[in-house]
Each structure stands twice: as C-alpha cells, then as structure tokens.
Amino acid sequence: MQRVFVDVDTQHDFCRPDGALFVSGAPAAAPACARLVARAVADGALLVGSVDSHAHDAWEFGGNGRVGPAGEDPRFPPHCVKGTPGWLKLPETLPARFYFVPVVPDPEAAARVPARTQAVYFEKEVYSLFANPNAAPVLDALAPPGPVEFVVFGVATDYCVRAAALGLRDWIAARPDRAGSRVAVVSDAVAAVTAEGGAAALRELTAAGVALVSTEAITG
C-alpha cells in the first residue's frame, strides 16, 4: 500500500513560542514532523498539507464583529494572516519544490501543479483541508491508484488534525476504488491546544477507524 503524507498547519503562528496562536506541544512535535516530510521526499511519495490562510478581518478573530456561516464565534487572536511571518511554514517542513492551492474554486487546480513538485498545500480558512474546494479533486488526480495510507501529522490535534483525519476517512468512504485505504495519525508528531482536547480527539479518531502510529513506524 502506497503512502500519502499529510502535513497539517505546521506554521509559525502555531509552532513557535512567539506565534500568535502558539500550541505549546508543537516544538516537541516539530522534529518528528520534519522527519516525516524528509521521508516523503526521499521516497518520492505524495506530500500534501494544509495552511491556515486568513485575511485581517477573518470571522475567526475576536474584535472583528463577525461570526462564521453557522454562527461560530471562536474569538481567536489574529493568526496566520496571509503574507505575514506568522503565516509561513516551518522551514524544516518545507521541501525545495512546493505549490500552494488557493481557496478559490478551480477545475484545473490539479493540472496547475508543476511537474516535479514535492508538496502541495491547500490554503484554508477553517479547520479542515477539505474546506478548500480544490482538495478533493486534486487528491483524486494526484494520489496513487488503489488503496493508500494517509499519514497525518501537524497541529493542532483537537482542531485541524482531527478535521483532516476525519475528512480523509470520508474521502476514502466515498470512493469504492479506494477500498482498503486507511488513515493513520502519527501520535508523536502532533500537538494539541489542550491535553483534554487532544485526548478526546484521539479517542474520537480511533473510534472512527483511524489508526495511531509512531514516527519510527513510518520512517524506520
């Protein structure tokens, strides 16, 4: 079974102590995330991921006087505003040849990925990478045929990692040709906003059929 590596939101604002929405366990998880990226590149495996990409007036931010489409009002501090240093990925998780897919719907998104690209990152404004309308069709086009194992890592376990893993499970379930595929979260390469939230997310994921694995099991 071939692997697809999924790097979730390993960005400065989440992963560095001076980040705007710092996840305290992220520095400990970052070396494992970098190791998984290196393994994906060395193996020539498909590496995809997500990046939070906000405008300065995003509804997620407290003080903007806005709420989400379902009335959400998380009141996060401004973070991952596109074009700011906090939006950038950790350098150790960024291969030499990468491509960002904007949130704007694009039927030709997969065709625009340049040859020899080592990683494809989906910009998103909410938790799941599938909030980017191009994510599912790009995966359809680029993922190797037949059963695949999605190897998920990054931040935060109780928010975007959880959403990515569940979204990938649903992607598999909707595609009969992907029977036998699975989603695995690398438990030592993730970090949660709260210990309680992270534990609850992992329990939910395992109940949904998502495997928990270690970096060592993936990279050897």
Mean per-residue pLDDT, 21-43: 97
Cβ neighbours of residue 166 closer than 8 Å, sequence gap 6 or more: 128, 205, 208, 210
Q: What is the per-residue pLDDT across 132-150, written as a single tens digit (0 to 9) for each?
A: 999 999 999 999 999 999 9
The sheet with strand 148-155 has its strands ordered as 98-101, 119-124, 46-52, 2-8, 148-155, 182-191, 211-213
> What average pLDDT is seen over the chain?
95
pTM of the model: 0.96
User: DSSP letters along 41-68, please?
Assistant: HHHT-EEEEEEE-B-TT-TTBTTS----
Backbone φ and ψ of 84, nearest 5°: -95, 160
DSSP letter assigned to residue 161: I
2-51+87-219: CATH architecture:
3-Layer(aba) Sandwich (3.40)
CA distance 150 to 160: 15
Specify the pLDDT at position 64: 74
CA distance 24 to 157: 12
What one-letter code names the amino acid at 137?
P
CA distance 21 to 212: 26
What one-letter code names the amino acid at 76?
F
Specify the pLDDT at position 59: 77
